[in-house]
């Protein structure tokens, strides 16, 4: 069942088409991530869904009800949609209890009980209830913002880069905690992020946005392994793009003959491999393609290398490889490939 349906959604800011005809179906109970470079329209999309802005065209339908179209604009507080923004947006002069209870219409004792419940749900110690937001860590503040957004029992939660202000370790832990809370509560979630790793890890549906439109919508594995074009591929992670001639499910490429995912295609095409499909070893003649390390930059667990392949047309490509063995510029290596290559049609 679809909970949220966006159809031909448009938003214009002067000459900028922030949203240029967006279609999106969000299944009930799903976690959808909207990912894309800065300025592509992600926040604009959330603001329209939340009801902070009205679209210039198109339609938003939520749970069968039209929230916005040419004739209708349901106000934000009547939509039953929660939102957690990048900095949490807590009221600085209110205590944590007052922040969470804000907008909860209930008798004091019922309200206190509900606030306790929300604190537990968000994994926060009740001892923090009397503190003000500036007496909490960034991760704790984000959990309070989540608890506040959950207080009204929304059917849809919008998360606008809620983890981006947190440092790496805390970010992963907070993301996990927030995801667990939303899953346990069965709340459909729309996450906006410019972090592709976060989108792939969080979502069951990833929508890749570029210049006010969706370039691709699919499962994390689908958008990662079968991106629509090389720009989308590069946005979702490191991509090794090679020229090839494709026929009968095989590509003739600088890395040898490789099986491809598109058995129907025939002709010249660019093909893509992800770095985890490629092995680089010092042994020679072990059945792969010979190459030479042209550059290497040690980055801890991985090293960024540029490899040159011999042959008539020298071809070089970059990738991150596990720093298993020390390699130096000039070292001769063998490149092996596992799995199938993706064809860009």
Binding site for ligand ATP (CB under 6 A): 13, 16, 18, 36, 38-44, 194
Q: For residue 181, give both structure tokens.
A: 């809370």
CB 23 within 8 A of CB 41: no
From the CB of 166, what's the least distance to ligand ATP, in Å? Answer: 16
User: Bridge-partner residues for 324, per DSSP?
Assistant: none
Q: Is 268 left (phi over 0), alpha (psi -120 to 50) or beta?
A: beta
From the CB of 161, what's the least distance to ligand ATP, in Å? Answer: 7
Query: Of 16 and 121, which CB lies nearer to ligand ATP in the complex structure?
Result: 16
From the CB of 335, what's the least distance to ligand ATP, in Å? Answer: 36
From the CB of 12, what's the least distance to ligand ATP, in Å? Answer: 9
SS3 323: coil
Residue with tokens 């009980």: 113
From the CB of 94, what's the least distance to ligand ATP, in Å? Answer: 27
DSSP of 243-303:
EEEEETTEEEETTEEEEBS-TT--EEEEEEE-GGGEEEES-SSSSSEEEEEEEEEE-SSEE
**C-alpha pair distances (Å), 75 with each of 52, 55, 67, 80, 306:** 8, 13, 8, 10, 54
Query: Of 31 and 42, which CB lies nearer to ligand ATP in the complex structure?
Result: 42
Query: Of 48 and 146, which CB lies nearer to ligand ATP in the complex structure?
Result: 48
From the CB of 215, what's the least distance to ligand ATP, in Å? Answer: 13
**C-alpha pair distances (Å), 273 with each of 236, 288, 292:** 13, 15, 19
SS3 235: helix
């Amino acid at each position: 069942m679809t909970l949220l349906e966006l159809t031909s959604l448009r938003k214009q800011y002067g000459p900028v088409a922030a949203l240029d005809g967006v279609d999106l179906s969000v299944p009930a109970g799903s976690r959808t991530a909207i990912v894309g470079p800065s300025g592509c329209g992600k926040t604009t999309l959330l603001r329209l869904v939340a009801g902070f802005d009205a679209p210039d065209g198109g339609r938003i339908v939520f749970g069968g009800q039209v929230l916005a179209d040419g004739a209708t604009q349901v106000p934000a507080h009547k939509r039953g949609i929660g939102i957690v923004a990048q900095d949490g947006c807590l009221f600085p002069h209110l205590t944590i209890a007052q922040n969470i209870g804000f907008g909860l219409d209930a008798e004091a004792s019922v309200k206190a009980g509900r606030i306790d419940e929300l604190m537990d749900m968000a994994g926060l110690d009740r001892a923090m209830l009397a503190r003000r937001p500036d007496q909490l860590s960034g991760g704790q503040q984000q959990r309070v913002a989540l608890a506040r957004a959950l207080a009204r029992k929304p059917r849809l939660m919008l998360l606008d880069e809620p983890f981006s202000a947190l440092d790496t370790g805390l970010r992963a832990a907070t993301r996990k905690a927030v995801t667990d809370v939303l899953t346990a509560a069965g709340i459909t979630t729309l996450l906006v992020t410019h972090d592709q790793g976060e989108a792939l890890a969080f979502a069951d549906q990833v929508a890749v946005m570029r210049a006010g439109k969706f370039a691709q919508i699919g499962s994390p594995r689908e958008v990662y392994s079968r991106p629509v074009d090389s720009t989308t591929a590069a946005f979702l992670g490191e991509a090794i793009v090679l020229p090839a001639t494709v026929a009968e499910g095989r590509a003739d490429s600088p890395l040898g003959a490789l099986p491809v995912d598109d058995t129907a295609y025939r002709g010249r095409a660019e093909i893509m491999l992800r770095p985890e499909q490629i092995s680089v070893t010092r042994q020679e003649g072990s059945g792969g393609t010979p190459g030479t390390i042209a550059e290497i930059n040690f980055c801890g667990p991985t090293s960024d290398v540029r490899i040159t392949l011999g042959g008539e047309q020298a071809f070089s490509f970059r990738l991150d490889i596990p720093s298993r063995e020390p390699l130096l510029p000039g070292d001769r290596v063998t490149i092996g490939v596992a799995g199938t290559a993706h064809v860009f049609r």
